[in-house]
Amino acid sequence: MTDLKQQIIRLSKSLGISKIGFTTADNFDYLEKSLRLAQENGTNSGFEHKNIDERVKPELLLKSAKTIISVAIAYPNKLPQKPDKTAYKRGQFSPSSWGLDYHDILTEKMQRLAHGIAELTAGFEHKAMVDTGALVDTAVARRAGIGFIGKNGLVISKEFGSYMFLGELVTNLDLAPDSPVDYGCGNCTHCVTSCPTQALNGDSTMNAKRCLSFQTQTTGALDEAFRTKMKTVIYGCDICQISCPYNRGIKNDAQTEIDPELAYPELVPFISMTNQEFKAKFSQIAGAWRGKNVLQRNAIYALANANDKTAIPILEKIAANPNNAIHQEAAQWALDKLRYKKSLKDR
């Protein structure tokens, strides 16, 4: 099977997979306590797979499971091209939402990988997972040697930093496992101290509901502390990644074309978009899953944080419209902030 493993590695490189690793399909029993505790305490995001047994026992997902193949797709943390200068101030989607939805990219590459493996060996069985699957992607990737799990809970490699999308194939193949990497965070706590909401516990776990990325994706009105700390980011958060020394100097290639106008949208036009306009322009990016209303709410907060007084007329219209109570309240909050800042300046 050594030859088969090497063939799979070569195949993965031909498909543009940044890094591949192999581990046994043994249980992840050590995760069960922390997963159940997070569920009980409500410190998980709520987006996770609900069945914890399936999260720690690969054989529940594929009866013939023997080897899990972990794959990583690197993505850039800097725009290849800056957006044009305009009269409008801009918001920002996090790099994970630049270009075509990474779920589609990773799923397509894993399908091609599985198809290629099936041509290499008879009787191939597998179960593929991307992001929202049962297994804990980071735990699989760590055990398969993709990288270590940092204090921010993300998998970090020397080659690509933490800017990697993860997925795995649970398979019936009998392949030699790889070893975990021999480097880690050491005494560094930059991500922990940089997190503006103190979401990180310093041991690779977190209170996900305090994470700004979670807050930009949740529904309803946000607490004021989260609104101001979001600044002009309308989807996601990368502060813990930006502060990580392993990400300094990283220059990952883009897997898809990145439109800077979608990565950094103009805020005033964004809050004015109809459902049809939003779908036509943004539907193919990862952040679009959350829907127009939540992202527009975030953009309204961002206008206040950007101190964009040119937005006052449209914010007044939104604040006077009772058809969307969340937007109405957000617009009134933004107006109060903008007018207060203006009054201080006029003194």
Q: What is the pTM of this model?
A: 0.93
For 2-78+95-171, CATH number out of 3.40.109, 3.40.390, 3.40.50, 3.40.1760 equals 3.40.109
Residue pLDDT, tens place only, 152-189: 999 999 999 999 999 999 999 999 999 999 999 999 99
10 sits in the region (left: phi over 0; alpha: psi -120 to 50; else beta) called: alpha
The model's confidence at residue 93, banded by pLDDT at 50, 70 and 90, is very high
Closest residue by Cα to residue 91 from 246, 189, 235: 235
pLDDT of residue 5: 97
Amino acid at 345: K
Closest residue by Cα to residue 137 from 103, 113, 111, 160: 103
pLDDT of residue 83: 94
Q: Decide if 308 is catalytic.
A: no
Mean pLDDT estimate for the chain: 94
The model's confidence at residue 47, banded by pLDDT at 50, 70 and 90, is confident
For the chain, which residues make up each domain, given as ranges?
A: 2-78+95-171, 190-341
Closest residue by Cα to residue 257 from 76, 115, 129: 76
From the candidates 101, 131, 178, 203, give the one annotated as an active-site residue: 131
The answer, yes or no, to whether residue 344 has pLDDT greater than 80, is no
Q: What angle do CA 161, 210, 341 make, to 5 degrees?
A: 100
Residue pLDDT, tens place only, 291-304: 999 999 999 999 99
Average pLDDT over residues 195-220: 96
Average pLDDT over residues 190-210: 96
Segment among 44-53, 136-145, 176-185, 302-311 with least mean pLDDT: 44-53
Burial class of 148 by CB neighbour count within 10 A (0 to 12, 13 to 18, 19+): buried
Residue 74's beta-bridge partner residues? 164
Average pLDDT over residues 43-49: 78
